[in-house]
Amino acid sequence: MKLQDKVALITGGGSGIGRASAILFAQEGAVIAVSDVNEATAAETAERITSAGGTATVIPGDVSNTEGARTIVAATIEAFGRVDILINSAGVATRHAPEGATFDEAWDFVMGINLRGTVMMSRFATDEMKKTGGGAVVNLSSIYGLVGRPSKITDGYDPYTHSKGAIVQLTREAGAKLAPDGIRTNCLCPGFVHTNLTKGISESPETLAYLESLTPMGRFGQPEEIAKAALFLASDDASYVTGAALSVDGGYVAQ
């Protein structure tokens, strides 16, 4: 068991990479605070964990505003007394912006959840980690935090790309600055992964084939493959790793 008795707070825990991480971490002995803006899907994840003999509680909340993030961390402390691991998996794609949103509104929407949410959750959770001698934060960046998008799918001003690039820098900044507090901060840079986030694009056979053709391994990843990398970064196996951006992308950024 790599995470015996650790308390893991996982945002976006109701779906995709967050859900797969919650389930895997519970199998590795962690108790899980499953947080999501969607309470019903978070409850489903928690039910899967508890019905397999694990421990989980549901913490509904919106990471995109300061009070929401503060409340999620406070509720985790109330439930389990501490937080050892934070996985910042709550996130949206630009096409999830409210219908009819202007460019400015869509930009604020994406940055608010992906970047602001990651920053606020990290601040409040690491304040708690400092009290107990340390912890580990894993942020979800993307291949598009490391490289630009193909011109076919962007006009050059996509806030998703902006938010994911900033998460790499947040990771470096926090990774270095919080090292003396025993807190490691790393990020994952996944390629295309089959989750609800990519459903809208992978449902089109032409788009799926195009995106697969951009990936050296020729396929999308599964959320469980990202969760295994999150487990590495969250566990003592990564005891000398901080401020790093780990690509888990079928070779996308290596080409």
Catalytic residue numbers read 160
Phi, psi values for residue 170, rounded to 5°: -55, -40
Q: Does 92 bind ligand NAD (CB under 6 A)?
A: yes
Q: Does 192 bind ligand NAD (CB under 6 A)?
A: yes
Residue from 190, 233, 234, 250 binding ligand NAD (CB under 6 A): 190
Cβ neighbours of residue 117 under 8 Å, at least 6 residues apart? 11, 63, 64, 69, 88, 90, 91
Q: Within 198-217, which residues bind ligand NAD (CB under 6 A)?
A: 198
Residue 125 Cβ vs ligand NAD, minimum distance, rounded to whole Å: 14
Closest alpha carbon to 196 in 9, 37, 31: 37
According to DSSP H, which parts of 81-218 are helical? 103-110, 117-131, 159-177, 196-202, 205-213
From residue 136 to residue 165, the character string flagging contacts with ligand NAD as x (rule: CB under 6 A) and all else as - is: ----x-x-----------------------
What is the Cβ-side half-sphere exposure of residue 42, based on CA atoms within 13 angstroms? 22
> Among residues 91 and 175, whose Cβ is nearest to ligand NAD?
91
Q: Pairing relation of β-strands 31-36 and 7-11?
A: parallel
Q: Does 195 bind ligand NAD (CB under 6 A)?
A: yes
Residue from 28, 29, 38, 71 binding ligand NAD (CB under 6 A): 38
Closest alpha carbon to 103 in 35, 163, 19, 159: 159
Residues that bind ligand NAD (CB under 6 A): 11-12, 14-18, 36-38, 41, 62-64, 89-92, 113-114, 117, 140, 142, 190, 192-193, 195-198
